[in-house]
Amino acid sequence: MRERRVSKKENVFVASRFVLPEHREMYLRIKEEERRYVPPELDQEQLSALSELVWQAFQTESILTLTYYDGREPRRLSAHVIHIDQAARSLKLRAGSEIHWVPFARLLHVELAASF
């Protein structure tokens, strides 16, 4: 026997379903939280290695390529370290004509750019 498909007009339950705006917002917020990037926790050894590379780049005026967490996602930046603010624990970087301040606690990965 062949099954008969029930249309939405015939099925009162399906036709009467709706989503409240508050529920839609809550659903979207939950989905956003699931997609949110959570930065990894770095141990003391990794933090020391990052600090060493930052200091070396500052001393030699080398270009530093770093990955940092901007509050939403990881970002990558190649720049010169022009100031290390130890009191605020942040780095002042110059990438071309742009100036960036990056808190040391948000650093994920640091490497010296290859010099030619």
Strands 63-69 and 107-112: antiparallel
Cα angle value 21/12/25 (rounded, 5°):
10
Domain edges within the chain: 44-112
Question: Model pTM greater than 0.75?
Answer: no
Class of 44-112 in CATH = mainly beta
The DSSP 8-state label assigned to residue 7 in this structure reads: P
Task: Give the pair of three-digit tokens for residue 13.
Answer: 């339950």
- Percent of the chain's residues with pLDDT above 70: 83
Confidence of residue 14 (pLDDT cuts 50, 70, 90): low
| pLDDT, tens digit (0-9, with 9 covering 90-100), for 47-79 | 899 999 999 999 998 999 999 988 888 899 999
Confidence of residue 6 (pLDDT cuts 50, 70, 90): low
